[in-house]
Structure 1
Amino acid sequence: MADLKDTKETQLLYRQSVWTRVTHWVWAVTLFFMVTSGLQIFNAHPILYLGRQSGFGDKQYLGPQAGYGSKQFDNTVLDIHAEMHDGRIVGVTSILGHDFDTTGLLGKSGSKDQPVYQAFPEWATIPSYYDLATGRVIHFFFAWILVPTWFVWLFASLINGHFWHDIVPRLRDFRLLPRDIVSHLRLKFPHRRSYNVLQKLSYAVILILVIPGMIATGLTMSPGVDLAWPWLLDVFGGRQTARLLHFCGMLVIVLFFVVHIIMVIAAGPINEMRSMITGWYRSDQPEPTSGEA
């Protein structure tokens, strides 16, 4: 099969391999269920801490060693809850001790007649109603799909060159960064076989840093894994810090998804979708030479 079909004004290029396309759509489904079930799990204890253990605010705890005495500490980073304000219940999101009224979205959602008092609203979780056990089953089921899919993508991408050509930015790519930023701000997206530097940077962050980081922090939150690999607790500074990083990774993935969809629509959804379904991509510009790049 030829890699290039010529037309009068454009070139139809074979851009995405079957491995890239299959793993892309598996991730799309898997990450959807993992994020929504993860929010269901988070609702069981919607507080994030920094460190090896959860703090108790102004409560006291007994130190691990005799004679250590009692100590007051609060290592809370994020706290989503509902509380009473001026005779009414409101949703509150506390970030590093600063409170924000998030009624209707976080802490308190639902209708006026049927309010829901939980961190994330029912429409954002799977199951939609509160069910921690089912949320955990769904989350771990798709985790077992996510991990091997990432390894399949990594192996295939290293073999076919996709990893080095399209994911890892080269030094010469960064010279084009100002031009690509201006093009994106002007909503002008040249259609080429190669990814631009902003695409490479975003894909590298997600595929090389965030997804492996999510896998590692997820394992660190497991007491059984910690028993077998206690060094994970040292790497991430404790189970609570791992949970915080896991949550932050989820936010990065959601942000990436939103920006990704916007860019697909802005760049031409038919051409972009055809590329990820059939592999063929219509390019309106010739590939730059090494001197141009």
Structure 2
Amino acid sequence: MATIEDYDERPPGAPRTTFIQRHSALTRLTHWINVLCLSLLLMSGLQIFNAHPALYWGQYGADADPSWLSIEAVEEGDGFRGILRVGSLTVTTTGILGISGAGDDAAQRGFPSWSTIPSYQDLATGRRWHFFFAWLFVINGLVYTLHGVATGHFRRDLAPSAEEMSPRHLKQEIADHARLRFPKGEKARHYNVLQKLVYLAVIFVLLPLMLATGLTMSPGIDAGYPFLLDVFGGRQSARSIHFICAWSIVLFVILHVSMVILSGLWNNLRSMITGRYAIEIAGDDK
């Protein structure tokens, strides 16, 4: 990442601020397409989940296997109560999950209308939205991956070194992040080892697993590639893994956005829009 501009003059030896080109144009473009795709995939996925708001392990689900997670509306007095069941744990979620709204406007649904596309219950439309943006997401990911391999981006920017993977270095990085101590100066030119490991896990583990389990839920794909059902232990198991991966990505996004805000919102946002990222370096550095 080369320096492209120095913009202030200070006395010799004083720290100075300089801009570096942190993200290529293609990286920035694919990043914002990912933001669009992931948002609409989540919302349309919740619409699909609402058609049967329960998850199972195994092949058949429903009456054949007990659910390990469900969002339900149970009758209570003159009305209903929303509950979330995870294994033996039951949590009341009226107004958010199970039952949305209040009084005459209350409706039985898994996730609330504001979180789904479309807002009303429509499984067919939800599937069309989900499939369209799923394939756009896959194509966008392939473009990013091929670009990363061709330009050496993965090897140069994302592959952790042996020194970075040492227990001592990892422990220090974790401690610095826990104290909200972010890299400064020359260290800010590069991703830290925790960023590298998390990005690699998302790109090469979570997202491929999401794609594979999504395909396994398709009867047409299963007919052509029946081994997928054996790999994931059945269609219902694939649905559960897909759900877990989706919320793991949501957790990653929450942590990612939090770090972006805490480490300098405008600087990070500008770098993902224009590519320009400001760092402070010692005045005698070249």
What TM-score results when the alignment is normalised by the length of structure 1?
0.87
Unmatched segments (≥5 aa) in structure 2: 10-15
What is the deviation of 1:3?
Answer: 4.2
8 Å CA contact retained: 1:190, 1:284: no
What is the deviation of 1:87?
Answer: 5.0
Partner of 1:38: 45
Matches within 5 A, 1:34-183: 34-56=41-63, 74-175=65-166, 176-183=169-176
Matched-pair identity in %: 46
Tell me how far apart the structure 1 counterparts of residues 221 and 3 of structure 2 sit (CA, whole Å): 46
CA distance 1:166–1:112, change in 2 (3 Å): farther
Structure number with higher relative contact order (C-alpha < 8 Å, ≥ 6 residues apart): 2
- Computed over aligned residues only, the root mean square deviation of the Cα atoms, in angstroms, reads 1.8
What TM-score results when the alignment is normalised by the length of structure 2?
0.89
CA distance 1:2–1:205, change in 2 (3 Å): closer
8 Å CA contact retained: 1:190, 1:285: no
Tell me how far apart the structure 2 counterparts of residues 212 and 196 of structure 1 sit (CA, whole Å): 24
Partner of 1:194: 190
Unmatched segments (≥5 aa) in structure 1: 57-72, 287-293
Runs of 4+ in 1 over 6 A off after TM superposition: none
Name whichever of 255-264 and 81-90 sits farther off: 81-90
Tell me how far apart the structure 2 counterparts of residues 18 and 25 of structure 1 sit (CA, whole Å): 11
Deviations 1:155-192, CA, capped at 9 Å, x for gaps: 10111122123333333222322222222222221241
Partner of 1:275: 271
- SS of equivalent residue, structure 1 residue 264: helix
What is the deviation of 1:32?
Answer: 0.3
8 Å CA contact retained: 2:2, 2:20: no
Aligned length: 270
Tell me how far apart the structure 1 counterparts of residues 177 and 183 of structure 2 sit (CA, whole Å): 10
CA distance 1:267–1:2, change in 2 (3 Å): closer
Which letter does structure 1 place at the counterpart of 2:83?
Answer: V
Partner of 1:5: 5
Matched, 1:185 2:181: no
Tell me how far apart the structure 2 counterparts of residues 126 and 221 of structure 1 sit (CA, whole Å): 20
Partner of 1:240: 236
What is the deviation of 1:85?
Answer: 3.3
8 Å CA contact retained: 2:117, 2:126: yes
Deviations 1:102-135, CA, capped at 9 Å, x for gaps: 1121111213331121110111111111111111
Tell me how far apart the structure 1 counterparts of residues 150 and 160 of structure 2 sit (CA, whole Å): 18
- SS of equivalent residue, structure 1 residue 173: coil
8 Å CA contact retained: 1:122, 1:129: yes
Which letter does structure 1 place at the counterpart of 2:267?
Answer: N
Partner of 2:13: none
8 Å CA contact retained: 2:3, 2:18: no
Tell me how far apart the structure 1 counterparts of residues 94 and 123 of structure 2 sit (CA, whole Å): 23
Which letter does structure 2 place at the counterpart of 1:158?
Answer: V
